[in-house]
Structure 1
């Protein structure tokens, strides 16, 4: 472990459920910095006690962030090393800390981020949905009108979309996703990631809502919603002649073979035909 740099802010991710997910480097920094800035001192103490770490903690939440940031900047300028943590996951992502980090750059104070846990990325990696391009939207608005407006604005978003949601609003939000985006859009709900009751369920939106309503336990705890991006299908690219050939072949062959043979017979795009066939199947479900 290299000696900590004085007057430096370290951004230290903490576990999102399983305390063993903390990194060795994260533990070393929490042990050796001059003080730890925490969103909830009692919550952070659970982690510190688990690894026998004793250090000075300072509370900084969304209510006192402006005032605390000014005080912390003075300490950093005086050479104090500080670790910033949130209740769980990577600090600043939907958690307090943005103002402090921004002021650090204004006062030329070094900021060193550590890699670590993040519920959105962890869930995305196991979603089975495209993950090369995605957008993170944080928590959905609590008010229905604002929530619906946001969802409608994302209807044609081609990237995979990630939200956080509360167990208290998930059913209402699912209804709005169906109404404003698409009842047949594939999505994933990841619950209690890394914890004992972790579950990851993937289905079309309208089937997902039905699945949730069958058992309240399916939406208890921390929830990540991941929605498949919009896929534009140019229907006029598949002529009636091509589609008729495909349907005849599909009666006796697999989807893949039917697409391959139809594309070869008519010299059309195999990928476009495949996407069109998938879309037609979704519409009829």
Structure 2
């Protein structure tokens, strides 16, 4: 088994450890000393794309063998990798950029390792969605991540419609060639004034963070083709929550009565069935009233 001083915090057992290692999303200086030590020390690195990651390894002089673990082979490859872990080898899992499993492969390997009783240890680091949220200037005490929206317009519009009443800040990744279409669909479904932050090429030379109402942001992207290149995160302002006076007194009485007997989610669902109000609206209202009455 391969060990180092930095890995010595883990008790030696008969099995190895699977390290889930975050790598830079652009600026190579964002890799941590601990991540470098682990990548040098493990027996094997499971990479989303070995050719892509070879450049990172070459830059830091890391000669650890690599094997491909991607969407198309992950289930089968996972069994062989878990066998090596059970035999005592330490392995590292990396994606092309950022934190593995966040809209990237790795879930099946991690699950197989855990089910086999193998220790799985995360090495935190760069993550595009968290980096975007931290600089967006939108509420971040509660937020939702929706990954990539469907590539085709119909599916994308359906998903946006389902998110229209979401009161938390929410985020999506979007391919650059679909960015403008996505913003136009958002404008139509969410309204022209909903605020969105475009976080593009984070940590890279042409990093852009632009905050504006959707219609204004779409026009800006339309007028500058450079903004339709590179990795994109969209951070979307949550829907405004209806104030209690916008809901009838009868609805509030029903909701409050149900909250006395039921958890918030069930109370909101039943109140929506009884009153005909939107479930998402009543759920947020129930959360707010539960906090105030606590």
The alignment's TM-score, normalised by the length of structure 1, stands at: 0.81
1:183 aligns with 2:192: yes
Partner deviation per Cα, 1:60-86 (whole Å, 9 max, x = no partner): 110111110011111111011000000
Distance 2:244 2:167 in 1: 18
| 1:31-110 alignment runs, 5 A limit | 31-110=40-119
Aligned to 2:125: 116
Residue 130 of structure 1 pairs with residue 130 of structure 2: no
- Residue 144 of structure 1: CA displacement? 1.1
Residue aligned with 2:176, SS: coil
Residues of 2 paired with 1:20 and 1:2: CA distance? Answer: 20
User: Larger Rg: 1 or 2?
Assistant: 1
1:14 to 15, 19, 23: 23
Structure 2 match to 1:2: 6
> How many aligned residue pairs are there?
237
Aligned partners of 1:235 and 1:38: how far apart in 2? 51
Residue 191 of structure 1 contacts residue 219 of structure 1 at CA under 8 Å; is this kept in 2? no
Contact 1:35/1:83 (<8 A) preserved: yes
Partner of 2:62: helix, strand, or coil? coil
Partners in 2 of 1:174 and 1:147 — Cα distance? 11
Q: CA RMSD in A?
A: 1.3
CA distance in 1, matches of 2:235, 2:27: 22
The aligned residue for residue 158 of structure 2 is: 149
The structural deviation recorded for 1:236 is 5.4
What TM-score, normalized by structure 2, do the two folds share? 0.78
Alpha-carbon contact 1:35-1:55 (below 8 Å) kept: yes
Distance 2:7 2:195 in 1: 48
Structure 2 counterpart of 1:281: none
How far did 1:33 drift? 0.4
2:129 and 2:171 in contact (8 A); partners too = yes
**Per-residue deviation at 1:235?**
9.2
Distance 2:7 2:219 in 1: 54
Q: Contact 2:6–2:34 (CA<8 Å) still a contact in 1?
A: no
Contact 2:6–2:37 (8 Å) recurs in 1: no
CA contact (8 A) 1:163 1:225 kept: yes
Equivalent-residue separation in structure 2 for 1:136 and 1:192 (angstroms): 18
1:160, 1:226 within 8 Å by CA — same for their partners in 2?
yes
Query: What stretches of structure 2 of length at least 5 have no aligned partner?
Result: 247-294
Please give the per-residue CA displacement for 1:107-164, whole angstroms capped at 9, x wherever unaligned. 1110000110000000110101111110000011101111111100111101101000
2:229 aligns to what? 220
